[in-house]
Amino acid sequence: MDTGPAPVLRPHLREHLAVGSTLEHLEERGLLALQGPEAFAALNRHVTGKWPLAGLDFMQGGQFEIGGIDAWISRSGYTGEDGFEISILATEAERIATLLCAEPEVRPAGLGARDSLRLEAGLPLYGHDLDRSTDPVSAGLGFAIASARRKQGGFPGFAPITAALTAGPERCRVGLSLEGRLPAREGAPVFAGETHVGRVTSGGFSPTLGHPIAMAYVTTANAATGTPLTIEVRGRRLAATVVSLPFVPHRYFRHGARQ
């Protein structure tokens, strides 16, 4: 099933492509994600190519061979950890997954495990923390708009995004650290005193930190780090504090960076 932003993006991209450009949806491809501090060691045993896998920095990719088949491998992933995304023929996905899972460092993981890492890394997820009504300034993603593009303008959403950058957004995506053991889930209302000031968009228990965490959109007046708030869960008010994101530092690999 095709989920996420792709069904929205593909028609938009096709409509706005420059003359002479085409967009091809590679339906025959599958994607494996190998994430974590030992991902490189496990994958490097099975990969060959024109250049070494170790040469890839975070968000770089290249053509390699794994298990005797061609693969596009990028040093990327949405977990906050060092890791790789491996694009191969879908018909080969089970065989390559089995090959990698035979390595001592590798264990299969479901979406729940990936989502706990994504939340700890403070990464917003489309359909939860992001949707078609979300602007990048409120979401804390203004860094994705290069300064040259801001000056040039003309891109979709330029007027409201510029207004939000100039005046500040009405709401902000924040991290929340909860007391106790009960997690707050998506949709839970957030309060400052008795005033409803926002709602949780992602939440769960952090295995790394040992307590519940959440991301929420709250009014800008209540978005400063250290602000005490409460979250309503099952008729109870849970104490929470606004904290800076990410909850757990990213561990992306970059050559020359202090590891």
**What is the rounded CA–CA span in Å between residue 215 and residue 42?**
32
Domain topology for 142-243: Elongation Factor Tu (Ef-tu); domain 3 (2.40.30)
Residue 110 pairs in a beta bridge with none
For residue 66, give the amino acid letter: I
**What is the rounded CA–CA span in Å between residue 55 and residue 62?**
10
pLDDT for the residue numbered 228: 98
Model confidence, pTM: 0.90
Please state the separation of Cα 139 from the chain's center in Å: 12
**What end-to-end distance do the CA atoms of the chain give, in Å?**
38
Asked if 171 and 138 touch (Cβ cutoff 8 Å), the reply is yes
% helix, strand, coil for the chain, step of 5: 25, 30, 45
Alpha-carbon radius of gyration of the chain: 21
- In our burial notation (b when 16+ CB lie closer than 10 A, e otherwise), range 50-83 reads eeebeebebeeebebebeeeebebbbbbbbbbbb
pLDDT for the residue numbered 7: 72
pLDDT for the residue numbered 1: 43
Burial class (CB in 10 A: 0-12, 13-18, 19+), 247: buried
| Angle, vertex CA 128, rays to CA 157 and CA 8, nearest 5 | 50
Q: Which CATH number fits domain 6-109: 3.30.1360.120, 3.40.50.720, 3.90.950.20, 2.60.40.10?
A: 3.30.1360.120
**What is the rounded CA–CA span in Å between residue 2 and residue 169?**
32
**What is the rounded CA–CA span in Å between residue 201 and residue 206?**
15
- Give the tokens for residue 192: 């400052």
pLDDT for the residue numbered 9: 79
**What is the rounded CA–CA span in Å between residue 170 and residue 129?**
16
**What is the rounded CA–CA span in Å between residue 176 and residue 247?**
9
Helix (H, G, I), strand (E, B) or coil at 78: coil
Mean pLDDT by 10 residues, the chain (259 residues): 65 86 90 97 96 96 96 97 98 98 96 95 96 93 91 89 92 97 97 98 97 98 98 97 98 80
Domain residue limits, the chain:
6-109, 142-243
Q: In what order do the strands lie in the sheet with 29-35?
A: 29-35, 83-89, 69-74, 61-66, 47-49
- Give the tokens for residue 259: 């590891």
